[in-house]
């Protein structure tokens, strides 16, 4: 039994005439009749009663044609589902992102992606750069928004594309003696206690910040997320240096001041497995061009 035989049976049930049903299916009548006969032989029951004047459905034929119609509908849905997934219009896309991406490009791109591909289920995970890179390598994420360059085994199998560049800003409590200044040379922070994220979670960004400051900071507290770092700065635990997008948190108890001279060293990078044929990844990447 095959889909062609199911279509032939449905066509004959609706036309009740071998000639018209064969014409509807685009075949000659003899092959059409042969397929109906083979189907009945396989099932071991008569689906149609034939006389020289008319064709009619048997009770077994009525039951079979009802299920055949449903099967053809399901087959069509299965084919369309496969085509949609193949075009990247359905399925599940797993996206990793660093916290600062939500203040920069991610919301805009997500709105466009969801509007263009409403059938795609998007799952978001906020993760540090190093964890994203490893989960991308293992296939646990499809794409990531992180801070390159990458190192280690993941760097050998991942491709990155810079989608944004940011200045670095000093973050200080609003009552800090340096807060009234319009900008700060990095050396002004040399004697301050610092709140930073652990280097293992984002080596590239961590090293970029250290190079921009020109000294080894005295780190008194570590925190993984930028929002947490800013909250600890507000609490007076220390100062920090963060990407400018973090200033969009607009906290009244934290002052963000540009470093002087301006230091543009931080990149936000779209990352995926090199050569990944997933059409969902291709469609998501295309929105950054």
Residue 286 has pLDDT above 90, yes or no: yes
- Which is higher by pLDDT, 172 or 266? 172
Across the chain, mean pLDDT equals 93
- Report the distance separating Cα 119 and Cα 123, nearest Å: 13
Residue 16 has pLDDT above 90, yes or no: yes
> 170 forms bridges with which residues in the sheet?
241, 257
- Report the distance separating Cα 155 and Cα 151, nearest Å: 5
Residue 266 has pLDDT above 90, yes or no: no
Long-range pairs, 247-256, Cβ under 8 A, ≥24: 247/169, 247/171, 248/103, 249/103, 252/174, 253/173, 253/174, 254/171, 254/172, 254/173, 254/174, 254/230, 255/171, 255/172, 255/173, 255/174, 255/176, 255/179, 256/169, 256/170, 256/171
- Confidence bin at 264 (pLDDT 50/70/90): low
Other Cβ atoms within 10 Å of 254 Cβ, number: 25
Give pLDDT tens digits for 189-208: 999 999 999 999 999 889 98
- Token pair 């934290």 in the structure block, residue: 254
- Chain length of the chain: 289
pTM over 0.85: no
> 162 forms bridges with which residues in the sheet?
269
Give pLDDT tens digits for 130-167: 999 999 999 999 999 999 989 888 889 999 999 999 89
- Report the distance separating Cα 132 and Cα 27, nearest Å: 56
Mean pLDDT computed over 57-76: 95
- Report the distance separating Cα 48 and Cα 31, nearest Å: 16
- Is-cis flag, bond preceding 140, omega within 30? no
- Which is higher by pLDDT, 239 or 104? 239
Q: What is the pLDDT of residue 46?
A: 95
- Report the distance separating Cα 201 and Cα 267, nearest Å: 16
- Report the distance separating Cα 285 and Cα 272, nearest Å: 9
Residue 153 CA neighbour count, 13 Å, CB half: 6
- Confidence bin at 262 (pLDDT 50/70/90): confident
Q: In terms of Cα–Cα distance, which of 27, 16, 12, 276 is closest to 142? A: 276
Give pLDDT tens digits for 23-33: 999 999 999 99
């Amino acid at each position: 039994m095959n889909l062609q035989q199911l279509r032939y049976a449905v066509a004959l049930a609706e036309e009740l005439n071998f000639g018209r049903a064969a014409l509807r299916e685009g075949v000659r009548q003899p092959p059409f009749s042969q397929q109906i006969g083979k189907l009945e032989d396989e099932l071991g029951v008569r689906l149609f009663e034939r006389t020289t004047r008319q064709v009619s459905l048997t009770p077994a034929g009525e039951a079979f044609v009802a299920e055949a119609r449903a099967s053809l509908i399901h087959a069509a849905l299965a084919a369309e589902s496969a085509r949609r997934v193949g075009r990247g219009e359905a399925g599940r896309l797993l996206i990793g992102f660093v916290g600062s991406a939500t203040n920069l490009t991610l919301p805009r791109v997500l709105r466009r992606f969801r509007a263009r591909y409403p059938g795609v289920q998007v799952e978001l995970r906020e993760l540090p750069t190093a964890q994203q890179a490893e989960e991308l390598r293992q296939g646990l994420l499809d794409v990531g928004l992180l801070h390159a360059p990458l190192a280690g085994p993941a760097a050998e199998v991942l491709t990155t594309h810079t989608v944004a560049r940011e200045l670095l800003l000093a973050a200080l409590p609003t009552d800090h003696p340096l807060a009234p200044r319009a900008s700060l040379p990095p050396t002004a922070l040399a004697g301050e206690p610092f709140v930073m994220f652990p280097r293992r979670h984002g080596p590239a960004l961590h090293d970029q910040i250290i190079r921009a400051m020109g000294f080894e900071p005295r780190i008194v507290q570590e925190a993984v997320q930028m929002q947490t770092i800013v909250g600890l700065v507000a609490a007076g635990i220390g100062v920090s240096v963060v990407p400018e997008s973090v200033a969009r948190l607009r906290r009244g108890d934290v002052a963000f001041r540009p470093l002087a001279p301006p230091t543009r060293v931080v990149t936000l990078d779209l990352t995926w497995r090199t050569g990944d044929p997933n059409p969902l990844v291709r469609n998501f990447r295309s929105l950054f061009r």
